[in-house]
Amino acid sequence: MNKIKNRSLWKKITNYKLLYALILPGLIYIIVFRYIPLLGTVVAFKKVPTFATIEQIIAADWVGLYQFQKFVSSHYFWNILGNTFALAGLRMVFEFGAPIILALLMNEIRRVAFKRVVQTISYMPYFISTVVLAGLVFNLLSTQSGIIPDIITKFGGKSIYYLGDVRYFRTVLLSAIIWKNIGWGTIIYLAALSGIDQQLYEAARIDGANRWIQTLKISLPSISFAVIIMFLLRISVVLNQGFEETLLLYSPAVYQVSDIIDTYVYRVGLLQNQASFGAAVGLFKSLLALTLVLGSNYVTKKFSDHSLYG
């Protein structure tokens, strides 16, 4: 029986060898950069120096859950955990919702040429590197020559260094992230909106429904499957996002509201040469992400007809 299955599988691979060849680079990438590094999680349960050799890792003493206990009992734990979930929650609400709203607004534009111009302008910031984005934010908010503080000062306000103020840092960070990603995030939703049967809108107009009612009763329900799928995909990586922007924009003055798990791992793992501790904190974050994915998938499957993981 197993021989028959193996022959059938090999026959499929032979018949569709070009298609399998197309997925080969992606498969190699996943194996090399996603699965092989999983072997490195053993470092979290040992005490090894940063940049240790394989021989040193194998010979190192096992410490069990000591690194995890050290992190959970540290006075940084609750602040870092709270900041991580706060940033993730804000991004899920605003960054995830903004492309949906922009796509719905674009869908209402009737002039094709103007719609294309708006789409192009909204896509452009996505191709700006994170380093350049951080430079733009620094220049805009600089108290010496920044445009925004100058405008506020001319209108009688007080010049504030927003990146160094705990009251404004999250707002600045989130605004920069949304500005960079909002256009690119509309692609899936615009594609879903383009597949809606236009006769539904015509029937709604005949019944007297205005554009707002059409959006609520036709557009949003029609793209709900795309919203749910994108929500589940975003949940799976939400704790991994925001590291570069936060690292480039934050400073010790705003650690209270900006220090997240990834930036903490960077500091203790690389800058302070605590490889085992950093690996343990990173693995802790991965377990949190897994819990979020499984929990959100269960909830969406229970209360809707769409889910991603069965």
For residue 186, give the CATH number of its domain: 1.10.3720.10
Gyration radius of the chain's alpha carbons: 24
Answer whether residue 19 is part of any domain. no
Helix axes 224-237, 96-107, angle to 10 degrees: 150
Answer whether residue 41 is part of any domain. no
Asked if residue 93 has pLDDT above 60, the reply is: yes
What is the C-alpha separation between 108 and 106, in angstroms, rounded?
5
What is the C-alpha separation between 51 and 275, in angstroms, rounded?
8
Answer whether residue 310 is part of any domain. no
Question: Cβ of 86: how many Cβ atoms within 10 Å?
Answer: 14
Segments forming the whole domain that contains residue 71: 46-141+170-303
* pLDDT number for residue 172: 92
Residue with tokens 């029609």: 222
Answer whether residue 40 is part of any domain. no
Answer whether residue 65 is part of any domain. yes
Q: Which residues contact 115 (CB under 8 A, 6 or more apart)?
A: 106, 109
Average pLDDT over every residue of 153-157: 84
Count how many domains the chain has: 1
Asked if residue 78 has pLDDT above 90, the reply is: yes
pTM of the model: 0.82
Q: Which residues contact 308 (CB under 8 A, 6 or more apart)?
A: 229, 232, 233, 297, 300
- The beta strand positions in 13-148, using DSSP E, are none
